[in-house]
Structure 1
Amino acid sequence: MTQTSAALAEAASPNRPADPAFEDDEIDLLELARTLWRGKLWIVLATLLAGALAWTYATQVAVPKYTASATVALDNRQGTMVDFENVLSGLSGDQATINTEVEVLRSRNLLDKLVEDMGLIDDPEFNPFLAPDTPAPAPQRARNTVVDRVAEAISISNVRSSYVFTITTVTTDPVKSADMANRLAELYMADQLAVKFEAMETATEWLSERVATLRVELETAEARIKSFATNTDLVSVEALEGLNRQIKDTRNRLDGLVMSRDALSERVTALVATQDTGDPDAMAAIAGDPALERLAGEFDSGNNAELFAARYATLLERARADLGRTRAQVASLSQSLGRLEADYARQAEDLVQLQQLERETQALRAIYEYFLTRMQETSVQRGIQQADSRILSHAVAPVRPSEPRRSMILALGLLLGLIAGAGVVLLREMMHSGFRTAEELERETGLTVMGQLPKIAARERKAVIQYLVDKPTSAAAEAVRNLRTSLMLSNLDRPPQVILSTSSLPGEGKTTTAISLAHNYSGLGKKVLLIEGDIRRRVFSEYFDYEKNEGLLSILSGSVRLEDVVQRLDLIGVDMLIGEQSSTNAADVFSSERFASFMEDVRRTYDTIIIDTPPVLLVPDSRIIAHAVDAVLFTVKWDATSRAQVREAMRQFATAGISMTGTVLNQIDPKGMKRYGYGGQYGAYAAYGHNKYYNN
């Protein structure tokens, strides 16, 4: 019965997938559709119920409301007045202006005027404090409440790509809806005119004050120009340009004289330096005088040397005289240039100041004339102002109510009912922790479902066994026969001889399964022993009537022999060994060597031994006995045993080193299968419906 630890861990893993499709997190849309189809009755009922409620609300509960609409067109003409702050011109018509006008129509001030103008404070539809037995609030609170409700009843929209606004009003009275829409449009136009008149009065007053101020500033500026011209020796711009040309000419002459002075200074220096050398050839060469060169050629005679020296001295003096004269000219011309530049700077500064005064005066004059013109235009337009919008169409009282929209409410109710029904079905499926199909049980446990046993309608347990005996060709009997066949084929080389039947908790039908299986094995002509291994509860007495009260514990104690206490059950054709009440712990009894020896003895005596054991999650007896058996059959109650209980039972078997042979999905309710949408068409469950092969 033992396997390797790796195999045990794999077999007992609670979440081990049996299908690669479950290895990812993808949603199985087909299974989702099947779940919804199985719950189609609930979905249809929820849809019809929601539709009925929606129709009742639309026809009996909802208050009819009427919608009326007036349209207003925005006049986007440009005004002829000054552009500052646009207080006097028509609206520009851009998107920002359109959005602003929409908000003006929605403004609380305008709605407050509508409430006042139409006396809506006394309308019970908008003033909830008019209801009987309602305490009167403060006047301002009541007015605010009415304005809020009026705002909820009115909506403003702009027709796309146009300057047209639609004022829509929804109330319980068709005439009132039309009147409110029309009156709001009129109040909106009146508000535009009031804003324009107020802006014009403010602009006129401001322009008058500004013109008076500018007049004084202009007169002051003109007086300043006259005073400056009187006290200043000014020349014209042309004369100042001539003086500038004279300065340029003087500067050019001065530059030439400076160059001449520098050249003469260098010549005098060179002449003096050459004279000091006493070399007549060099002196003649530097002087560049033909006479001196001729005398230098005849320098050997005494008279010529004196003439040479006198001539050279004359040239040197002449060069020095030229240098002095040039220096005097440079100094004189520099003084003249300084006087011209100073005179030019003074006159240029005076001219700049005069021009600045003239520019300021000219600017003041332009501003003064501009504002004077605007003031005159504003005064002319006082009596010709018009609103920036006009009513395109007045609202008319509707004939039929716009609310409630019965078809839409019905469709929405049906849709919500459909969604709610589907949600309930999916939620119920998600919250369900039991097993309804063999596939679910196999996916959860990784074990083969060897049998699927239907629920037998019987009040007593004895009646269940009697039913199987009386109706050997019934669906239930065939299901047990299929279970027996699966067990025999589970190991072809060595079919199991000792079979243990257990479950997670009491009431799952493990004892009935064990008895039914024993009955089926006896039908093959085998010698079968049915052992009551649940010595704590001892439920065999609920199935059979027997006389002997000694059984398993008496054999293990050695007081009796097997053949002395075993009891023949002629009803099902098997031998039965009951359990007995004992003060000794049951787990200790089944762990003893005597129990192991007993099992070896019965193996030699009987062909098949079936042991009914206690539930796994309550006591350890099943895990202890399992070490002495060939097959462990785990019974799971249909739509009752939770997945957590099954996982825990498998874990406990795995920790004990026991591998389960297979599972049995027990007490399947055919009506319940139909209620859940499986009907009689889902795999093996078709066997539990009406079938010509079975006699029920």
Structure 2
Amino acid sequence: MNAFSHPSTDPGFEEAGGSPGGRRGAGGLAEQFDLRRLGNMFRRRMRLFGAVAALVFIAVVLVTLTATPMYTATANVMLDTRREQVVNVEAVLSGLPADSSVVDTEAEILKSRRLAERVVNALQLDKDPEFNPALRSPGPVAAVKGAISGALASVRPQEVQDTAIAEQKAQERVVDSVLRGLSVRRSGLTYVINVSFEAESAPKAATIANKFAELYLLEQLEAKFDATQQATTWLNSRLEGLRDQVLAAEAAVQQYRIANNLLSAAGTNLTEQEISNYNMTLSQARAQVAEDEARLNTARSQLARGSTGDDLGEALSSPVIQQLRQQRATVSAKVADLQGRYGERHPEMLTANRQLTDIDGQIQAEIQRIISNLEAKVQVSRQRAAAIGGSLSNARGTLAGNNQAQVRLNELERTAEASRTLYESYLTRYKETSSQQGIEASDARIVSQATIPTGQSSPKVPLNLALGLVLALGAGVAAVVLAEMLDAGLATAEDVEQRLDVSYLGAIPLLASVAEGKASSPIDYVIEKPLSSFAEAFRNLRASVTYSRLGEPVKVVAITSSLPGEGKTTTSVCLARSAAQQGLKVILVDCDLRRRSVNRLFGAEPSRGLIEVLAGEATLDEVLTIDQTTGARLLPLAKSSLTPKDVFGSAAMDRLLEELRRTYDLVILDTAPVLPVADTRVLAPKADVVVFLTHWRKTPQHAIEAAFRLLSGTGAHLAGVALTQVDMKQQSKYGYGDPGYYYAEYKKYYVS
């Protein structure tokens, strides 16, 4: 292949025993929640889980045992839905409606800072060390802080301390402490509110809880009293102003009446009364004129018909005429007597006739006087009626003027009436409000006083221990999960294939985890124990590498890693020896110019090596070293081989690899790490395959991916990833299904 690629994308990868990711996909979510996987996770983290859980549980136990015993007392306050009605007047501050929101509001008032301040002042809690931190004896930490503060204050310039602010802050801290001990809650959906207080002393808790309830009721009473007092004061001041307004309005009405002659008696205007009298008098006068004229006309009519006037009504009622008529009757009788006795010519007869004629003349004269008197009465009546009519006309003119002035008068009277009505309403309300003072009632009452608790409310040892156990287990689980999340290394074949999407080549055990007793070095152990699981691991690795490219021979194998210390050289030497034991012609080429780890493993320091061969200063046969145990060839690096030249990218390196490919069955290139050194990126495409080693559970995944990105453009073929230094005893606690999971079952198959 001419490009660096993951084997999962290689057409022959599946047949070569590559990543089984496609087959695992059919498992769905069941494998993600495999209980065995979870069990394995806890198995390998059992120490961490136990340590964290134990620490948390011990901490809870210590906190519980060292905590100060606290006591809680509860007083019950009920909002009273009934109303006492001592006087049948409306209160200034109405009672509370008994709905849910009001109950909740009153509960919040019980928790208010203002009420807490009143409790602090009433019970002098600022002098109690439980609530005032300033009165407590300072601990060692506080003493050190105080000393430091004093030292700093001595070197700072003196500042003016605001005592009032300092005292206020101290008071606020006391109130905060009291509020922390207070608990107010509504009892279900009832009108009862539970007022609880927690303190270090049982009597103190009961006293403070009762004081909160008492001051709450007192505050309600004070609120109503203050509202009534304020209303009374305001009404009184308002009444003074309204009284002045009423007096001014009424004075304006009277002044306007006087100025416009709108005086009245018994509620009626004098001009109207005068017109009414004139109308009545004029009617009477006119009636009198009519009567007098009727009498005069009647008398004249009788006289015109030839009457002597004797039949006139006035004549009939006149005493003079009546007297004259009596005299005439007497004289007439005398005339009649004398006429019969003496005749017409008798002197006494004549005298009597003259007397009769004289009397008749007097009667006629009296009748004429009566007629004249009637005429005079008619004239007087007419003049009187005319005078009354004139006065009535004058009064009507005056009334017309008064009616124009009456418009303004009505306005003034309405203003005065409105002011009077408002004044009277305020006066009535003032009297009602004044009558309420002293009879205000609270909207709540204390159902039950807080009693001294007989047992402590906290700490609750059984509950704390139960919660501590739950918390410890939870903390242990959280620690295990967090450790798994932070574990960026690779531990199983599944990790390699799923997280890196590359083939898993095998695992190289940590020798101490598979060898019994004291083992020699790994490169010797693979020779001494060829049937051990350690030696078998390298045979498995060689098999995986050999069949990593189906249809193509694999001879040149570059072994690398992302970081130093991941076992490249040990793996390279052991792989070379294992292959040589199987009869293959093997050569190991040390390509790590900086470390030269192969020399250290074999304890040799050659004077000439790979660099000299590439430079033409020595031949290949001259620098090759033979492993006497297995017959494998070694192409080392001389001590002074470090060079700034790009020796691996030269044509000489290509010719050397071609020669080695023809001569040997397996060429192993022990290269430098990818991330710190660029040499491997030059060598990788020259090899048939690249074997990438990763330290078990140590190498971060990000480092591996960064190395893959560096190799991706070189054209190298990545055979896969092999895990090194695997602790097989711990590996059995990891991925269910991984070969190492069953190590305990098959380890007896090997000869240690």
Q: Common fold, TM-score beyond 0.5?
A: yes
The offset of 1:53, in angstroms, is: 1.1
1:42 aligns with 48
Partners of 1:356 and 1:403 in 2: how far apart?
Answer: 78
Q: Is the 8 A contact 2:195 2:213 kept in 1?
A: yes
Secondary structure of the structure 2 residue equivalent to 1:665:
strand
Q: Is the 8 A contact 2:494 2:738 kept in 1?
A: no
2:688 aligns with 630
Q: Is the 8 A contact 2:605 2:638 kept in 1?
A: no
Q: 1:113-169 deviations in whole A, cap 9, x for unaligned? A: 43444343433222333335799x977665554444333333434445444333222
Does 1:169 find its partner at 2:175?
A: no
Q: 1:385-428 deviations in whole A, cap 9, x for unaligned? A: 43333221111111111122334434544454445444444443
1:503 aligns with 561
Matches within 5 A, 1:226-625: 228=257, 229-230=262-263, 353=408, 356-457=411-512, 463-534=521-592, 536-544=594-602, 551-552=609-610, 555-556=613-614, 562-563=620-621, 566-582=624-640, 585=643, 588-625=646-683
Q: Classify 1:621/1:154 alpha carbon distance in 2 versus 1 (closer, same or farther; 3 Å).
A: closer
Matching residue within 68, 79, 83 for 2:73: 68
Partners of 1:586 and 1:179 in 2: how far apart?
Answer: 88
Secondary structure of the structure 2 residue equivalent to 1:646:
helix
Q: Is the 8 A contact 2:73 2:452 kept in 1?
A: yes
Mean Cα deviation higher: 112-121 or 500-509: 112-121
Q: Classify 1:47/1:451 alpha carbon distance in 2 versus 1 (closer, same or farther; 3 Å).
A: same
Q: Classify 1:514/1:415 alpha carbon distance in 2 versus 1 (closer, same or farther; 3 Å).
A: same
Partners of 2:616 and 2:170 in 1: how far apart?
Answer: 98
Does 1:149 find its partner at 2:177?
A: yes
Mean Cα deviation higher: 558-567 or 461-470: 558-567
Secondary structure of the structure 2 residue equivalent to 1:452:
strand
Aligned partner letter, 1:57:
V
Partners of 1:685 and 1:633 in 2: how far apart?
Answer: 20
Secondary structure of the structure 1 residue equivalent to 2:749:
coil
The offset of 1:189, in angstroms, is: 3.2
Q: Classify 1:352/1:682 alpha carbon distance in 2 versus 1 (closer, same or farther; 3 Å).
A: farther
Partners of 2:169 and 2:477 in 1: how far apart?
Answer: 47
Q: Is the 8 A contact 1:535 1:580 kept in 2?
A: no
Aligned partner letter, 1:390:
R
Partners of 2:680 and 2:518 in 1: how far apart?
Answer: 26
1:683 aligns with 738
Q: Classify 1:52/1:353 alpha carbon distance in 2 versus 1 (closer, same or farther; 3 Å).
A: same
Q: Is the 8 A contact 1:498 1:631 kept in 2?
A: yes
Partners of 1:109 and 1:532 in 2: how far apart?
Answer: 84
Does 1:185 find its partner at 2:190?
A: no
Partners of 1:204 and 1:547 in 2: how far apart?
Answer: 113
2:330 aligns with none
Secondary structure of the structure 2 residue equivalent to 1:495:
coil
Measured on the aligned residues, the alpha-carbon RMSD in Å equals: 4.5
Q: 1:466-501 deviations in whole A, cap 9, x for unaligned? A: 211222222222221111211222234332122222
Q: Classify 1:353/1:665 alpha carbon distance in 2 versus 1 (closer, same or farther; 3 Å).
A: same
Q: Classify 1:444/1:124 alpha carbon distance in 2 versus 1 (closer, same or farther; 3 Å).
A: closer
TM-score normalized by structure 2? 0.65
Number of aligned residue pairs: 576
Q: Is the 8 A contact 2:119 2:212 kept in 1?
A: yes
Secondary structure of the structure 1 residue equivalent to 2:78:
strand
Secondary structure of the structure 1 residue equivalent to 2:718:
coil
2:295 aligns with none
Q: Is the 8 A contact 2:74 2:206 kept in 1?
A: yes
1:131 aligns with 136
Q: Is the 8 A contact 1:81 1:88 kept in 2?
A: no
Q: Is the 8 A contact 1:586 1:621 kept in 2?
A: no
Partners of 2:552 and 2:467 in 1: how far apart?
Answer: 65
Q: Is the 8 A contact 1:69 1:396 kept in 2?
A: yes
Q: Classify 1:50/1:511 alpha carbon distance in 2 versus 1 (closer, same or farther; 3 Å).
A: same
2:370 aligns with none
Q: Is the 8 A contact 1:8 1:658 kept in 2?
A: no
Q: Classify 1:55/1:472 alpha carbon distance in 2 versus 1 (closer, same or farther; 3 Å).
A: same
Q: Is the 8 A contact 1:18 1:446 kept in 2?
A: no
Q: Is the 8 A contact 2:491 2:734 kept in 1?
A: no
Q: Is the 8 A contact 1:635 1:664 kept in 2?
A: yes
Q: Is the 8 A contact 1:454 1:688 kept in 2?
A: no
Structure 2 residue runs of 5 or longer lacking an equivalent are 11-18, 147-162, 277-396
Aligned partner letter, 1:446:
D
Q: Classify 1:373/1:667 alpha carbon distance in 2 versus 1 (closer, same or farther; 3 Å).
A: same
Partners of 1:590 and 1:193 in 2: how far apart?
Answer: 99
2:61 aligns with 55
1:668 aligns with 726
Partners of 1:70 and 1:521 in 2: how far apart?
Answer: 88
Secondary structure of the structure 2 residue equivalent to 1:71:
strand
Aligned partner letter, 1:53:
A
2:2 aligns with 2
Q: Is the 8 A contact 1:587 1:624 kept in 2?
A: no
Aligned partner letter, 2:511:
I
Q: Classify 1:656/1:81 alpha carbon distance in 2 versus 1 (closer, same or farther; 3 Å).
A: same
1:658 aligns with 716
Structure 1 residue runs of 5 or longer lacking an equivalent are 12-16, 240-341
The offset of 1:356, in angstroms, is: 4.3
Partners of 2:400 and 2:48 in 1: how far apart?
Answer: 107
Aligned partner letter, 1:494:
E
Mean Cα deviation higher: 219-228 or 504-513: 219-228
Q: Is the 8 A contact 1:555 1:561 kept in 2?
A: yes
Secondary structure of the structure 2 residue equivalent to 1:661:
strand
Q: Is the 8 A contact 1:623 1:656 kept in 2?
A: yes
Higher Rg: 2
Partners of 1:551 and 1:410 in 2: how far apart?
Answer: 71
Partners of 1:507 and 1:568 in 2: how far apart?
Answer: 26
* Identical pairs, percent: 36
Does 1:647 find its partner at 2:705?
A: yes
The offset of 1:46, in angstroms, is: 1.9
Q: 1:278-325 deviations in whole A, cap 9, x for unaligned? A: xxxxxxxxxxxxxxxxxxxxxxxxxxxxxxxxxxxxxxxxxxxxxxxx
2:378 aligns with none
Q: Classify 1:540/1:66 alpha carbon distance in 2 versus 1 (closer, same or farther; 3 Å).
A: same
Secondary structure of the structure 2 residue equivalent to 1:543:
helix
Q: Is the 8 A contact 1:532 1:613 kept in 2?
A: yes
Partners of 1:594 and 1:383 in 2: how far apart?
Answer: 117
Partners of 1:540 and 1:6 in 2: how far apart?
Answer: 29
Q: Classify 1:355/1:643 alpha carbon distance in 2 versus 1 (closer, same or farther; 3 Å).
A: same
Q: Classify 1:523/1:159 alpha carbon distance in 2 versus 1 (closer, same or farther; 3 Å).
A: same
Q: Classify 1:148/1:661 alpha carbon distance in 2 versus 1 (closer, same or farther; 3 Å).
A: closer
The offset of 1:448, in angstroms, is: 1.4
